Amino acid sequence: MTKNILRRDVLVGVAASAVTLAASNKTAAAKTPRTHDIVIKSFTFEPQSVTVQVGDTIRWTNEDLAPHTATASEAGWDTGELAKGQSATILVTHGMQTSYFCAFHPHMKGTIEVV
Amino acid sequence: MKKFLTGIAVAGMLFATQALANDPAELSDVEIAHVAYTADNLDIRYAHLALAKSKNPEIHKFAKTMIRDHEAVNEQALALLKKLGAEAKDNFLSQKLNRDGDAIIAKFSALSGAEFDRAYAENELAYHKAVNALVGEVFIPNIENPEVKALFEEGLKIFKAHEAHAEMMVKALK
């Protein structure tokens, strides 16, 4: 019986440690800047909307044959021309413009939500 | 199996004067590749004319996109032909496209200002509509090589985007 109780306590202890570790990792992850990938495919930005934090990076990769850009609607930032297979990154900053489009194909639109 | 009837219907829209012996649905893969390359180059020529004649910034943006995208498609098409050890083959449809294109360029060269802009935009819309119907309904179902077919499917996505863009431009210029 004692043996069983001890065994159970050890298991609970291990589980609790795992939860603590996971929570601690989560906190660390929230503080670490992330890279958010957006794929340009079939004349769309996928995902079309991305939620980011200041300090994160957004990386666009063009999988289309046609060259594209990701360009802020009010010209605040621009990836420049991306040929097939090319990528470009933009650092998320305070007050950055959050709606963007492809300068070559203006019907292609995307949005960034900064939280 | 070649889609003979579909070929006649679409060709009828584009090339009403052609005899039935000249059926786009009967073209081989290397002949289809030649038509596509010719059609791309023709649109690049229209775009260069627009850059030379128009003062409208939106027309310039569109024309530059046509040059950029059609050159990208042509580059891929040439690379694929090289990989396959094949050579594009001239045919009645490529020749017809070139003749019609020469006539359109001669006509547009005499226009200027808003008149040119409208004519260019309307031609881009009509041209992409016609070519997209030909590619989607006749060429893609009849292409035998899977890699060539895949390239045409990719190209069709681009040309459909151009058609939508041209439609926006035509509306804006009215």
Q: How far is the alpha carbon of B27 from chain A, nearest alpha carbon, in Å?
A: 25
Give me the pLDDT at residue B9, please.
46
pLDDT at residue A80 greater than cutoff 60: yes
pLDDT at residue B168 greater than cutoff 90: yes
User: Is A67 close to B72, i.e. CB distance below 8 A?
Assistant: yes
Which of chain A's residues have a Cβ under 8 Å away from the Cβ of B168? 106-107
pLDDT at residue A23 greater than cutoff 50: no
User: Is B157 close to A67, i.e. CB distance below 8 A?
Assistant: no
pLDDT above 90: percentage of residues in chain A: 69
pLDDT at residue B75 greater than cutoff 50: yes
Give the DSSP letter string of chain B: ---HHHHHHHHHHH-TT--TTS-GGG--HHHHHHHHHHHHHHHHHHHHHHHHH---HHHHHHHHHHHHHHHHHHHHHHHHHHHHT------HHHHHHHHHHHHHHHHHHT--HHHHHHHHHHHHHHHHHHHHHHIIIIIHHH--SHHHHHHHHHHHHHHHHHHHHHHHHHHHH-
* Lowest mean pLDDT across A12-16, A55-59, B80-84, B111-115: A12-16
Flag whether the ipTM exceeds 0.85: no
Q: How far is the alpha carbon of A97 from chain B, nearest alpha carbon, in Å?
A: 22
User: Is B168 close to A107, i.e. CB distance below 8 A?
Assistant: yes
How confident is the model over B76-108, as pLDDT tens digits?
999 999 999 999 999 999 999 999 999 999 999
Mean residue pLDDT of chain B comes to 90
Tell me the mean pLDDT in the region B28-46: 96
User: Does the global pTM surpass 0.90?
Assistant: no
